[in-house]
Chains A and B, each alone.
With several copies, the nearest count.
Chain A
Amino acid sequence: MTSAAFDVERIRKDFPILSRELPGGRPLVYLDSGNSSQKPAQVIETMREHFAQHYSNVGRAMHALGSESTEAFETARDKLADFIGAPSRDEVVFTKNASEGLNLVAYAFGNPAGEDPRFRMGPGDEIVISEMEHHSNIVPWQLLARRTGATLRWFPVTDEGRLDLSGIGDLVNERTKIVSIAHQSNVLGTVNPVAAVLARAREVGALMMLDASQSVPHHPVDVAALGVDFVAFTGHKMVGPSGIGVLWGRGELLEAMPPFLGGGEMIEAVWMDHSTYAPPPHKFEAGTPPIVEAIGLGAAADYLTSVGLEAVEAHERELTAYALDALREVPTLRVIGPGDTHERGATVSFTLDGIHPHDVGQILDDAFGIAVRVGHHCARPLHLRFGIPATTRASFYLYNTTSEIDALVRGLHHVQKVFS
């Protein structure tokens, strides 16, 4: 049951793909938005229209189309800044995805071209992540540790799928230069206690980054209120296009960081033997940016704002409660992650005894057109921690319904019949 104010059927009409029929006459039941969300006509149409009527390069072009594109692109930056409560639009860096944003920050450390002591890194220094991270918030820090000789450490995860803060005093210490954790886990659904971790990071003078790939699309996120230093997220999970992401960083830190990619647009002046750099955000946007993708992401932010992030969150909480309840009836099903909706989002991962998630996913898709994700969801260490090679994950978004969850439960019963 969804609340009266939130008209999910009307919302579904905005997403053309949801009325699609799959081969074999199967309806589409899309429960894989944690992987990537679908796009409303408003986003698709904004992009089409821009390509067809207003496109040109941005920043550098002084003609009519150049102004139209630049205006649309920079307005998208304003929209994204508003969307996340950024104190300044200049703190919004467009990247190609969340992964680039995470790497960008990682490459700022231990770079001889940078002078700020907060970004110095070498043997003895420490980086702290967690065991529930997406590979995109693990590998960049492994590579950084490898480049600099620093040590990578991590928070463990409790059996319930929460961040284990019991050892935080030792884990985050004076050697810690940065702590980077997920705002919300893409497997467990867990929403992490940012304030507690941040308090400790501040005590020891460490910077803190949030991988907000799974939170920004689903809850109102206010970067200023969060109080962290960096936040990365990605367009394609928030009803926006592929090819675009955002790195938000405190203006003062973005100023202090060395450039990452070099090229057009990120410079102030170039001589053959040296260059000076543009102020942020342009300093970090080398080359022609994903212009129409940023504009599409602006339309996505508008769309989510018009629906209302609070409404989206409430709808997802209802779906999650409904799903946790309904899934309990499936024999041998075990949810990996918190069992109730307290501090958790609309992502439900689970195992079924003796049936591999690949088979679960395939049969759900083949037989019923139900799209879930199966595997380790780019969070292999988390699966290792739970001693399982893979899970099946259903993730919900504003366009999902309780009857789709019913379909999932029916599908799972069928899967069990096939393998019984």
Chain B
Amino acid sequence: MITESMYQELILEHYKHPQGRGLREPFDAEVHHVNPTCGDEITMRVKLGDGGKVEDVSYDGQGCSISQAAASVLYELASGSSVEETLGVVDEFTRLLQGRGQVEPDEDVLGDAVAFAGVAKYPARVKCALLAWMAYKDALVRSTA
């Protein structure tokens, strides 16, 4: 079944048990992103610390398993890392997802996020996977502005 390439166990796990979900204080910036084609929504807050650290990423939203799991995976990867590191991961994630299934993912950079490789083959779902990650990038820009 083709399904298996998209609904990885890891994605389903994150969907059923989202990590770091809920909006928390304090935060430096909050953004709200919507995927108009499907109505998936996310509100995301970022709190930066000293030395370019990401202190907290908190979020709330609604949407499909892909968009919710992507937010959960993002939380795990980002909180505690440096802004720079996470931007690298976001770039690689974006490259993977927009690669129409032709891109070989860099597992070292992506970690768990590599589970989304199968999504890249479904153009209609790519935006779901990217929703949280684009919101995060946007929030970073606003918190450092």
Interface residues of A (CB under 8 A from B): 23-24, 59-62, 66-67, 70-71, 267-269, 276, 278, 356-359, 362-363, 366-367, 374-376, 380, 383, 389-390, 418-419
Known: A366-B1, A367-B1, A389-B40. A70 touches B123 (CB 8 A): yes
User: Does B122 lie within 8 Å of A59, measured CB to CB?
Assistant: no
User: Does A419 lie within 8 Å of B37, measured CB to CB?
Assistant: no
B66 at the A/B interface (Cβ < 8 Å)? yes
User: Does B7 lie within 8 Å of A390, measured CB to CB?
Assistant: no
Q: A67-B122, A362-B7, A375-B38 are in contact. List 13 more A-B contacts (CB 8 A).
A: A23-B2, A24-B1, A67-B124, A71-B123, A268-B34, A278-B36, A359-B64, A375-B37, A376-B39, A380-B39, A389-B41, A418-B7, A419-B15
Interchain residue pairs with CB less than 8 A apart (18): A23-B2, A62-B124, A269-B34, A269-B36, A357-B64, A358-B40, A359-B7, A363-B7, A366-B3, A367-B2, A367-B3, A375-B39, A376-B39, A380-B39, A389-B38, A418-B12, A419-B12, A419-B16
Which single member of B34, B36, B128 contacts A358 (CB below 8 Å)?
A: B128
Which single member of A66, A276, A389 contacts B124 (CB below 8 Å)?
A: A66
Contacts of B40 in A (CB 8 A): 358, 389
User: Does B36 lie within 8 Å of A356, measured CB to CB?
Assistant: no
- Mostly helix, strand, loop or mixed at chain B's interface? mixed
Q: Which residue of A lies closest to B68 (CB)?
A: A356
Q: Which residue of A lies closest to B2 (CB)?
A: A366
Those of B56-111 within 8 Å (CB) of chain A = 62-66
Q: Which residue of A lies closest to B15 (CB)?
A: A419
Contacts of A366 in B (CB 8 A): 1-3, 6
User: Does A62 lie within 8 Å of B41, measured CB to CB?
Assistant: no
Known: A268-B36, A418-B7. A356 touches B63 (CB 8 A): yes
B125 at the A/B interface (Cβ < 8 Å)? yes
Contacts of B64 in A (CB 8 A): 356-359
Whole-angstrom CA separation of A269 from B12 in the bound complex: 28
Contacts of A276 in B (CB 8 A): 36
Interface residues of B (CB under 8 A from A): 1-3, 6-7, 12, 15-16, 34, 36-41, 62-66, 122-125, 128
Whole-angstrom CA separation of A389 from B122 in the bound complex: 21
Whole-angstrom CA separation of A278 from B36 in the bound complex: 8
Q: In the complex, what's the smallest C-beta–C-beta distance from A387 to chain B, in angstroms?
A: 11
Known: A366-B1, A380-B39. A356 touches B65 (CB 8 A): yes
Q: In the complex, what's the smallest C-beta–C-beta distance from A363 to chain B, in angstroms?
A: 6
Q: In the complex, what's the smallest C-beta–C-beta distance from B29 to chain A, in angstroms?
A: 21
Q: In the complex, what's the smallest C-beta–C-beta distance from B47 to chain A, in angstroms?
A: 28
Whole-angstrom CA separation of A357 from B64 in the bound complex: 7
Q: In the complex, what's the smallest C-beta–C-beta distance from B12 to chain A, in angstroms?
A: 7
Which single member of A367, A390, A418 contacts B39 (CB below 8 Å)?
A: A390
Whole-angstrom CA separation of A267 from B65 in the bound complex: 24
Known: A66-B124, A70-B124. A60 touches B41 (CB 8 A): no
Q: In the complex, what's the smallest C-beta–C-beta distance from A145 to chain B, in angstroms?
A: 21
Q: Which residue of B lies closest to A375 (CB)?
A: B38
User: Does B65 lie within 8 Å of A419, measured CB to CB?
Assistant: yes
Whole-angstrom CA separation of A185 from B62 in the bound complex: 26
Contacts of A363 in B (CB 8 A): 3, 7
Q: Which residue of B lies closest to A64 (CB)?
A: B2
Whole-angstrom CA separation of A71 from B122 in the bound complex: 10
Whole-angstrom CA separation of A357 from B67 in the bound complex: 12
Contacts of B38 in A (CB 8 A): 358, 374-376, 389-390
Q: Which residue of A lies closest to B5 (CB)?
A: A366
Whole-angstrom CA separation of A197 from B63 in the bound complex: 37
User: Does B125 lie within 8 Å of A362, measured CB to CB?
Assistant: yes
Contacts of A59 in B (CB 8 A): 37
Contacts of A61 in B (CB 8 A): 124
Whole-angstrom CA separation of A278 from B3 in the bound complex: 30
Contacts of B66 in A (CB 8 A): 358-359
Contacts of B2 in A (CB 8 A): 23-24, 366-367
Q: In the complex, what's the smallest C-beta–C-beta distance from A74 to chain B, in angstroms?
A: 8
User: Does A383 lie within 8 Å of B39, measured CB to CB?
Assistant: yes
5 tightest CB-CB pairs across the interface, nearest first?
A358-B64, A356-B64, A366-B3, A389-B39, A268-B36
Whole-angstrom CA separation of A295 from B112 in the bound complex: 39
Whole-angstrom CA separation of A390 from B35 in the bound complex: 12
Contacts of B37 in A (CB 8 A): 59-60, 375
Q: Which residue of B lies closest to A420 (CB)?
A: B16
Whole-angstrom CA separation of A359 from B129 in the bound complex: 13
User: Does A62 lie within 8 Å of B122, measured CB to CB?
Assistant: yes
Whole-angstrom CA separation of A374 from B34 in the bound complex: 16
Q: Looking at A67, A362, A419, which has the most chain B CB atoms within 10 Å of its CB?
A: A362
Q: In the complex, what's the smallest C-beta–C-beta distance from B5 to chain A, in angstroms?
A: 8
Whole-angstrom CA separation of A234 from B125 in the bound complex: 28
Contacts of B62 in A (CB 8 A): 389
Whole-angstrom CA separation of A47 from B21 in the bound complex: 48
